[in-house]
Amino acid sequence: FLTLGEFQFIPELDFKTRQYLSLFTYAGETLSISPTCKEILLDGKNELSYNTEIPFYKRAGFYSHKEDGSLKVPSQIYLGHPLRHTIRYRYKYGQRLNYGFTLEQDTGEPFKTHSIQPFDYASFYIHYASATPRWELLLGDFKVNMGMGLLIGRNFFGGKASMLNSRTYFATRFSPHKGTDETNFMRGFAATYQWKNWQANAFVSLRNLDSRIAAGEVTSFLTSGLHRTTVEQERRNNLQAFTTGI
C-alpha cells in the first residue's frame, strides 16, 4: 500500500474499520535509501553573499600630513583603499557535508599587492560526517573544544560559573571556522571516531601567525588581523605554529 486510501478497495474493511486502522497503521515508503555521492555533492543548499562597507568619513591613516601640516612617517600611512570587502560561500547537505570559504579585506589593506593575493584573509573548510554518527572528518580551518582546564571551553559557552552550575558534560568536538576572526582557529585536519561509549579525537594544525620579533625572539603575538601599513605588513605571517592533540 502506498496510501491509507487504498484500504477502501478491500471489501472486508468497512468505513469505520478503516477509520480505526488509520490510527494504528502507516502506508508509504518504509525503506531508507542512502543518498548517492552525486546527490550529496550537488543537491545541497548553496549560499553566496557579498558585503562591502563604504565609509562616509576618512580615517587618519589615509592622510599623508599631520594636523600641524608636517609629513607623516610613511609607516603610519595605509597602503590600501578605504573600502572593506567580504565574500562568503556556503554549501550544506544536511549533517553529511558542509563546505565553504571566506575572503576578506579590511579597510586600508592593499588589494593584490605587498604579497597579498588577492585578499588579505582567506579561509576555507570541508566537514563530512558518516550516515551513522560514528565518524567525521574536518579539513581546513576549524575550532577545537577540548579539555576542562584553565580555559574551560573558552569561545564555546559563558564561563566558569555557568559551567560549574550545569550538570551537562561538554564532550570534545570540532567545529568549522566560518567567521572572519583571523586568530582563534586551527588550520589543518581533524577527525572523530565514535565506538559505543568511547570517542577518539585527533587533530593536526599548521598555520601562520602575526608577531613582533626583536633580536630573533618573539616578544608578542598580534591578534587584530589588520595589515594596513608597512610595519603591519612586516609582522604579517612571520611565524609558524604547529599544534596537535589526541
In tens, the pLDDT along 104-145 reads 999 999 887 666 678 889 999 999 998 877 899 999 999 988
Does 25 score more than 70 pLDDT? Answer: yes
Report the distance separating Cα 188 and Cα 245, nearest Å. 12
Of the candidates 207, 157, 156, 155, the residue with the CA atom closest to the CA atom of residue 186? 207
204-207-117 Cα angle (round to 5): 135
The CA-atom distances, in angstroms, between 102 and each of 11, 14, 238 are: 63, 62, 22
Report the distance separating Cα 174 and Cα 138, nearest Å. 8
In tens, the pLDDT along 159-218 reads 566 666 666 555 668 899 999 999 889 999 999 998 888 889 999 999 999 999 998 899
Retrieve residue 167's grid coordinates: 550538570
Q: Count CB neighbours of 105 within 10 A.
A: 24
**Contact yes or no for 8/18 (Cβ under 8 A):** yes
- Looking at residue 194, the DSSP 8-state letter turns out to be E
Report the distance separating Cα 159 and Cα 153, nearest Å. 8
Which of 26-35, 69-78, 107-116, 236-245: highest mean pLDDT? 236-245
Report the distance separating Cα 67 and Cα 229, nearest Å. 19
The beta strands (E) that lie in 65-134 are given as: 84-93, 97-105, 121-129
State pTM to two decimals.
0.75
Measured on CA atoms in the order 57, 60, 66, 72, is the torsion positive or negative? negative
